[in-house]
Amino acid sequence: MKLGEGVEQAIHSVAVLAGLSEGGVLSAAAIAEFHGVSVSYLLKHLQALSGAGILDTVPGPKGGYRLARLPKDISLLDIVLAVEGSAPAFRCAEIRQRGPNPLPGKYFTKPCGISAAMLAAERVYRAELAKTAIADVLADLAESDDGSIAARGCAFLALNERRTNR
């Protein structure tokens, strides 16, 4: 029951990317510097997000990343699944079918009740994450912020945002 550290980096990266204007991109190096993390490592997760269709990439000089969808259409679940993989956390190995005197498989047509309960809890978890979009997170932040955090973000964007003709 542990989430990798890259999840936090990925979510924050998406949040920052949500702040740039139409047609603007941000290089991975800039995002990494803003968060004080390793560039190479952040790239790994940005690539995962790109592969999942959450981010678009612009290659070449003056290239970088930008959102592929609107912030309101990117949920936390999308990001978590892209980075951590979509495999369920609980995997039933059907150990009840092992042991010295295993029953024929026909008696185990119904999935294990334990597995069902665990997966049900996981569905609830994912549903909760799916309810929260990046746009919601930004809205909550703007509400509690007196302007300082937003100002720092804007200053960073003004310095590092790149316009692209595509």
Partner DNA sequence: GGGATCTTACTCGGATAGAGCGTGTCCGAGTGCTGAGGG
Partner DNA sequence: CCCTCAGCACTCGGACACGCTCTATCCGAGTAAGATCCC
154 makes contact, choosing from its own copies, DNA, none, with CB < 5 to 8 Å by partner type, with none
Q: Which of 89, 154, 163, 164 binds its own copies (CB under 8 A)?
A: 89
Does position 64 interact with DNA (CB under 7 A)? The reply is yes
As a whole number of angstroms, the distance between CA 137 and CA 58 comes to: 26
**CB neighbour list of residue 52: distance below 8 Å, 6 or more residues apart:** 78, 81, 82
Q: Does 2 bind DNA (CB under 7 A)?
A: yes
Between residues 66 and 160, which has the closer beta carbon with respect to its own copies? Answer: 160
| Strand, coil or helix: 39 | helix
Q: Which does 67 bind (CB under 5 to 8 A by kind): its own copies, DNA, none?
A: none
Whether 115 contacts 101, CB under 8 Å: no
Choice from 11, 16, 17, 28 touching DNA (CB under 7 A): 28
Instruction: Tell me if 95 contacts DNA by CB under 7 A.
Output: no
- For residue 27, CA distances in Å to 10, 43, 54, 55, 76 come to 14, 10, 16, 12, 22
Neighbours of 100 (CB within 10 A): 4
Contact between 149 and its own copies per CB under 8 A:
yes
Q: Under the criterion CB under 7 A, does residue 135 sit at the interface with DNA? A: no
CB of 64 to its own copies, least distance (A): 17
What are residue 118's phi and psi, to 5 degrees? -65, -40
| Contact residues for DNA, defined by CB under 7 A | 2, 4-6, 27-29, 37-38, 40-41, 43-44, 46-47, 50-51, 57-65, 84-85, 164-165
